[in-house]
Structure formats: structure tokens, C-alpha cells
Amino acid sequence: MQQTELFLLKLGEVVLKGLNRHFFEERLMNNVRRRLRQCGGRYHLELRQSTIYVEPMNEDCDLEAAYAACRQVFGVVAVVRALPCEKSVDAIVATAKQYLAPSFAAAKSFKVESKRADKTFPMTSIQLSQAVGGALASAFPAVKVDVHEPDLTVHVEIREKAAYVHGPALPGAGGLPVGTGGRAVSLLSGGLDSPVASWMIARRGVELEMVHFVSPPYTSQQAQDKVIELARLLTPYTGRLIVHVIPFTRIQEAIRRACPEEYFTLIMRRFMMRLAAAVARRANAGALVTGESLGQVASQTLWALGVTDPVADMPVLRPLIGTDKVEIIRLAHEIGTYDTSILPYEDCCTVFTPRHPATHPELKAVEEAEAALDVEALMEEALAGETWIRVKNGGTNET
């Protein structure tokens, strides 16, 4: 058997989907194919026994890029680099000695773990582990056997077509395949929270479009570019994104002229929710996504959320609602958005910030304050000025 390194992508929640499982698997396979197109060369994909086999087909394949890409596909819980061989002890031992030689050189102890997906294989998992472990102990006498806390675990999987030898698996992105959970529109600012919230909702299988509000001359082009970069950083997980850019200056200036200062942010947020909901309806999306965390700022108290939600006319998903800033920062580091989020370009949420914002607002009082505005006309003008940018992973943005 010709030995070519390949990847084994282990499925997570998808295997629990019962009669709907085929739909989830098909979408996951398509998502993996899409990501691998950017990694050079050609790859053969096959789904068997809750595992996607990803085999490079020519020398143009960038295996490092492909390995990283597979780990970012939602629905994949673990990714393994493995070498196939014949289903015999001798072939397995020879493959392990060759493939894992660098790992043995760095280890002081090891053990072998075996799994038999092919139950026709004549040895039990324990028997196979003992046979392979004994041979490897003789081949690497400086590395002792430790079945409890080894430095290196040699994994042997006996599957339908071959045996597979590999070291430890690395975690994948988990969650559900994007495209299996409907569509939503995420309000994307330039801060830490909204990119993390978007990632968390995409991880539940939801396709996203983004809405960003700009307020020139109070906000700069650099602030908008920062948000587009945040969207690009999310695309390895979400796929291509559309960012709807909506002018917000006239609305904010109208609020400042006509409304009590303590309600500035609340009325602004109500306009944002209305506009995002309008975009969502056009995009056939069924929900909005925000990065709000309960009590983090004045506009995110229970009372404030109760004032902003009624204008949305659709579910508002807040995956960060129970998290604190430390958790959000940790996730931002993990998904790669942190360094961009902290760039010092302010978004429109910081324009005309009230000195003493209302933290316990009453809906009736806010509605009375907002009645001084021509809401429909301001909405129509903002939507008429909307532009959009299609953001690609590693590619050129389209306007």
C-alpha cells in the first residue's frame, strides 16, 4: 500500500442528528471542500464511520494550510494527521517506527491505544495494543512504556480500508456546520464583543450577514476598515461575508438635537435594531445577533435591553449575555480578532455618549422622547445610503 499522509476529521454533534444526519453531513462535507480550495492542489474527501478522510492528491497541496483550515470548520471536533497502512501488526509497527520517529525521539515514555472500527480484524483492541507496544518498546529501548501518563500516545485505528497510525488529535472548531441553523444578521462594531458573538452564533450552524453603522465625520475610514478586517478574520469560520454599511450620522445628530441626553444611547440602539431588522428581512434572515453582555455598560442592563428589543420584531440572539470581559478577551485571542479589535479607531457607538446615561429606563418614557423624531424618514434615508462589501477569506473585498 502506498503511504500518503492524510487527515482524519472527527465529527462531533453531527453524529447525534438521527434522521436529519445526512443533511448535516452533506453540508459539512461541502464546507470542508470550500475551505480546502484555498490550500492548493486537489484533495479527495470521503465520509465513513463518523470520520471525514481528507487525502491530498498531488504535490501542489499545502498540507500545513489544509491542516489549519480543517481545524476551523464548524462541525469538526478533532483533526488528526495520520499515515495509512495494511491491516497487519508488522505493517502497523513499521509505519509507527517511520512516521512517529521524531515523536519517539522527544519522548521519555509512551503507550499504544487501539480502536477497531472494523470488527472483522482478528485481534481485540487490547491484543493489538500489546503486540504493537511490545514491538515499539524493542525498537525504541530508551522510551519506557507508561500506560497511565505517557509523553506520547501512539494511536492505531483499524478501519474499513486500512489501518491508520497517528499521534495525538488536535481539537477542531466543534459546533455545527455553517448553513444548518438558518440565517441571521449580526451587528458588527469595531470592539471586542461583536466579533466573538458572531463567531459563537456561526458555531451553532448559522449563516451570517453583517451590519455596520458609520458616522462620518465623527468616525473615520480607518474605523470602517478595521471592521472589514474583523469580518475577514471571521471568514475562515463563517465563509464569505457580506457587510452592510449604513450611514448613521443624520440619525445621531437628530437624536442629539431633539432627545434628552440620558436617552441618547438607548434611542440610538433602537434605531440600530430597526435598521438591522430591515436588512435581515431583505436577507431572509430570522434573527439579529449582538455582542451585548448583561450589565457591561449602561445600555446593557435588563431595563435597557427591555427598551431596545421591542423594535426588532424578530429574535435577538446574545451569546455573550452571561460572560464577563475576561472570557470575551480569551475567546477573541483564540479566534484571532483581539489584536484588530483593540486598534484605536472608535465606532459610532462612542459618538455623543451621554454623561449620565439612564440605566433603569422605562419603555414609555423612551418612546415619548423618541416621538420628537421622524423615525420613518430617518430610517428611509439611512437605508437609501446603504452600501455593502463582500468579504472573502484571504481574497480581495468586493463592493
51 - beta bridge partners? 10, 48
pLDDT tens sequence across 14-45: 999 988 999 999 999 999 999 999 998 999 99
- Cβ atoms 1, 162 nearer than 8 A: yes
Q: Which is more confidently placed, 352 or 41?
A: 41
Whether cis (ω within 30° of 0) applies to the bond prior to 247 is no
Look at residue 399 and give its three-state secondary structure.
coil
- Cβ atoms 211, 387 nearer than 8 A: no
pLDDT tens sequence across 284-337: 999 999 999 998 888 889 999 999 999 999 999 999 999 999 999 999 999 999
Average pLDDT over residues 253-272: 94
Q: Where does the chain show beta strands of DSSP type E? A: 6-11, 43-48, 51-56, 76-85, 109-116, 144-145, 152-158, 163-166, 170-171, 183-187, 207-214, 241-247, 288-289, 316-317, 387-391
DSSP helix, strand, coil percent of the chain (3-state; round to 5): 45, 20, 35
pLDDT of residue 115: 93
pLDDT of residue 346: 75
- Lookup result for grid cell 484605536: 344
Per-residue pLDDT at 350 exceeds 80: no
Q: Where are the domains of the chain?
A: 6-171, 183-391
- Lookup result for grid cell 462594531: 189
- In percent, the amount of the chain with pLDDT more than 90 equals 86
Per-residue pLDDT at 1 exceeds 80: no
pLDDT tens sequence across 148-181: 999 999 999 999 889 999 999 999 999 999 999 9
pLDDT of residue 392: 87
Average pLDDT over residues 241-260: 95
- Lookup result for grid cell 481539537: 171
The amino acid that residue 385 corresponds to is G
Question: What superfamily in CATH does domain 183-391 come from?
Answer: HUPs (3.40.50.620)
pLDDT of residue 397: 67
Task: Return the C-alpha cell found at 397.
Answer: 473585498
pLDDT of residue 399: 62
* Residue 215 per-residue DSSP state: -
For the four alpha carbons of 189, 343, 302 and 356, in that order, the dihedral sign comes to negative
Look at residue 272 and give its three-state secondary structure.
helix
Task: Return the C-alpha cell found at 197.
Answer: 458573538
Look at residue 398 and give its three-state secondary structure.
strand
CA pair distance 129, 123, nearest whole angstrom = 10
What separation in angstroms does the CA of 47 have from each of 161, 219, 221? Answer: 12, 49, 46
Tell me phi and psi for residue 84, to 5 degrees: -80, 155
pLDDT of residue 396: 55
Q: How confident is the model at residue 283 (pLDDT cuts 50, 70, 90)?
A: very high
Classified by CATH at the fold level, domain 6-171 comes out as VC0802-like (3.30.2130)
pLDDT tens sequence across 46-71: 998 889 999 999 989 999 999 999 99
- Cβ atoms 110, 132 nearer than 8 A: no
- Cβ atoms 148, 189 nearer than 8 A: no
What separation in angstroms does the CA of 95 have from each of 55, 83, 86, 134, 161? Answer: 17, 7, 9, 15, 16
pLDDT of residue 221: 92
CA pair distance 260, 372, nearest whole angstrom = 10
**Plot region of 18 (φ>0 → left; ψ -120 to 50 → alpha; else → beta):** left
Nearest one of 335, 277, 273, 270 to 307, comparing CA atoms: 270
Q: How confident is the model at residue 398 (pLDDT cuts 50, 70, 90)?
A: low
Task: Return the C-alpha cell found at 300.
Answer: 446593557
Task: Return the C-alpha cell found at 255.
Answer: 437624536
Q: Which is more confidently placed, 395 or 324?
A: 324
